[in-house]
Structure 1
Amino acid sequence: MGLGAYVLWGALPIYFRALEPAGPVEIVAQRAAWSLVFCLGILAFTAGLRTLRPVLREPRTLGLVALAGTFIVANWLVYIYGVDTGRTIDAALGYFINPIATVLLAVVVLRERLRPAQWVACGLGVVAVAVIAVGYGELPWISLCLAGCFGLYGLVKNRIGRTVDALPGLAAETAVLFPAAVGYLVYLEAMGAGTFGDGAQHSLLLVLSGPITASPLLLFSAAARRLPLSVIGMLQYAAPLLQLAVGVLLFHEPMPPERLAGFVIVWVAIAVLTVDGLRNRQRLARRTA
């Protein structure tokens, strides 16, 4: 289930390319709208609609859910824009950088103290971005936006706590976004700029963006309850690795030396974080034994 979740996430660039000529904003709106429909359908089928009531009735939780929805939509928009404009590799880099961004957010927002190895990993992440920026003459803004948005999304979900499960959480997030998403889609159709209805296959693919969005999350949620956190931490790199492979092998995006050097530095940073996390977990286990 864990591998299934990350393989689906890793293959998303292929799916989004198949949604052309729909633009990034239209795809995000369709994705939000059909995700809600799919989530509500699953909740109704499993008699889980009652799990939505505490989320929607509690003002603080609802506010945090709305904020999480804003960050995840920004993440979706930048990601789809990157895929549509031939920057899938930059998108993959963003998800490699994400663990480093999460550590930095823990310092800046939560005032957590980092271990020396974590500082080393963060420094390597900054060096990697600098190498790519110097090589290209501009910041890899797609990578940074994706890492930042998803890191902030994770931070907000952390503040919500474990009181909201994955499926009702996604349903609540998309419910908050649903009016704006449908309003935008109606506007597109009224202006004659929408692509829904441009062929049965294209329309079906847009509808399926809901299940495609929710299914990996459900698989991940099921796997996370059964696997050690260390295994989940290792699995998370399967998705950007697949995205990188799709960008290079299927979309034939360039991988010049400066971009490759940036990736290698990021991978070293990830290795430092992973080894430090495993050692820290072993130390904690020995103390509590």
Structure 2
Amino acid sequence: MNRGIVYAALAYLAWGLFPLYFKQIAQVPSLEVVMHRTLWCLVFMLGILAFMKRWAWLGELRRTPKVLAAFMLSALLLSVNWVVYVWAVQTDHVLDASLGYFINPLVNVALGYVFLHERPRRLQWAAVAMAAAGVLWLTLQTGRLPWVALVLAISFGFYGLLRKIAKLGALEGLTLETLMLTPIALAALAWWTWTGQSAISAAVNQGEVATMGWLLFAGPLTAIPLLLFAAGARRIPMATLGLLQYISPSLQFMLGVWLYHEPMQPSRLLGFALIWSALLIYSLEGWWVSRRMTQA
């Protein structure tokens, strides 16, 4: 089997199983979880960079202030995405989170049209319209916008857009983003620990060492799937990568329904079905075009 498919599939499998991890530390507030995730991810990434001796990009950053500004914005988008996702999992909104990542590829089509002047094909526009109809249906059924799904899809869509035009690779880019967020994370963790409200103080005062161990695990858990994804993306066509990306939200959806027993009314299922149909059209159209180009 193509190693690229294995790497990408493992990355999406890990992301799809993330709810299991965040449910494990549900007693820690979502914002504090993200602060730990930021800090320990940076430590892990710096260790990898030190092992690989890849520091030249840091010197180049001083001559490219626009790159720093772009990554400051991408770091903000990443932090918003992380906070909302962790909160969603911890408060029994796993289905809403999965919906966000089902919608995300279609958000990417719209962003590419607006900002990169890409010209989606007719069936791609049809898929976007069908997904919009699904979101509208869910809004009408619940009386409110599915804001968790929309925030996750839009924040990650804009994040992907910035990373697409950025000059740094996946490893260096995530390191820079977490480096920018770490001063905030350190200040917040220091304050919560000083006031006795953090997982660190609970580990010291109440012996909850296991929780602290789970939080430390957030570093490699965040970085390894991203590195697998980067390795896989370089080895396989975008059409194949596009099909594999549905592993993650599909697993999250199954966990939400069958493991966490989140309610799924038949009327709400229709909205999901519209979005799934849109993704099917989008994926098959992309696969067909890619196949024709390969055969030409």
TM-score, length basis structure 1? 0.94
Q: Secondary structure at the residue paired with 2:49?
A: helix
Match of 1:196, SS state, is: helix
Q: Does 1:122 align with 2:131?
A: no
Structure 2 unmatched ranges of 5 or more: 1-6, 203-207
What is residue 234 of structure 2 aligned with on the other side? 225
Q: Which residue of 2 aligns with 1:30?
A: 36
Instruction: Look up the equivalent residue of 1:174 and give its one-letter code.
Output: T
- Alignment partners' CA distance in 2, 1:39 and 1:227: 25
Q: Does 1:83 align with 2:92?
A: no
Runs (5+) with no aligned partner, structure 1? none
1:71-112 Cα distance to aligned partner (Å, 9 max, x none): 111100110111111100000000000011111112222333
1:13 and 2:22 are equivalent in the alignment: no
Call closer, same or farther: CA 1:229–1:110 in 2, change over 3 Å. Answer: closer
Partner of 2:187: 183
**Partner letter of residue 276 of structure 1?**
E
1:185 and 1:194 in contact (8 A); partners too: yes
Contact persistence 1:196–1:206 (CA under 8 A): no
Q: Which residue of 1 aligns with 2:172?
A: 168
Return closer, same or farther for 1:43/1:144 CA change in 2, 3 Å cut-off: same
Distance apart, 1:118 and its partner CA: 1.4
* Mapping for residues 29-68 of structure 1, pairs under 5 Å: 29-55=35-61, 57-68=63-74
Counterpart residue identity of residue 41, structure 2: S
- The whole-number CA distance in structure 2 between the counterparts of 1:75 and 1:44 is 28
Q: Separation in 2 of the partners of 1:115 and 1:102?
A: 14
Post-superposition CA distance 1:119-157 (Å, at most 9, x none): 111110111011111111111100000000000001101
Structural RMSD (CA): 1.4
Measured in 2, the distance between the counterparts of 1:110 and 1:171 equals 26
CA distance in 2, matches of 1:269, 1:55: 41
Asked if 1:150 is matched to 2:162, the reply is no
Paired letter, 1:261 = L
Structure-2 separation of matches of 1:230 and 1:195 = 43
Range with greater deviation from structure 2 (30-39 or 258-267): 258-267
Q: In structure 2, do the counterparts of structure 1 residues 209 and 56 end up closer, same or farther at CA, with 3 Å as the change threshold?
A: farther
TM-score if structure 2 supplies the norm length? Answer: 0.92
- For residues 252 and 59 of structure 2, the distance between their equivalents in structure 1, rounded to whole angstroms, comes to 37
**Counterpart contact for 1:40–1:49, Cα < 8 Å:** no
- Whichever residue aligns with residue 183 of structure 1, its letter is A
Stretches of 4+ aligned residues off by more than 6 angstroms: none
Does the 8 A contact of 1:230 with 1:278 survive in 2? yes
- Answer yes or no: is 1:241 the counterpart of 2:236: no
1:25 counterpart letter in structure 2: L
Match of 1:216? 225
Instruction: Give CA deviations for 1:25-48 in whole Å, capped at 9, x if unaligned.
Output: 101111111110000001101212
Following superposition, the deviation at residue 196 of structure 1 comes to: 2.1
Question: In 2, Cα distance between the equivalents of 1:263 and 1:154?
Answer: 23
Does the CA contact (< 8 Å) of 2:240 and 2:287 recur in 1? no
Match of 2:286 in 1: 277
1:134 partner SS: helix
Give distance in 2, aligned partners of 1:14 and 1:131: 29
Percent of pairs with identical residues: 40
**Kept after mapping to 1: 8 A contact 2:17/2:251:** yes
Q: 1:170 Cα deviation (Å)? A: 0.5
Equivalent in the alignment of 1:268: 277
Moved more, 263-272 or 43-52: 43-52
SS in 1 for 2:198: coil
Correspondence 1:129-140 to 2 at 5 A: 129-140=135-146
- Measured after TM superposition, the shift of residue 279 of structure 1 is 2.8
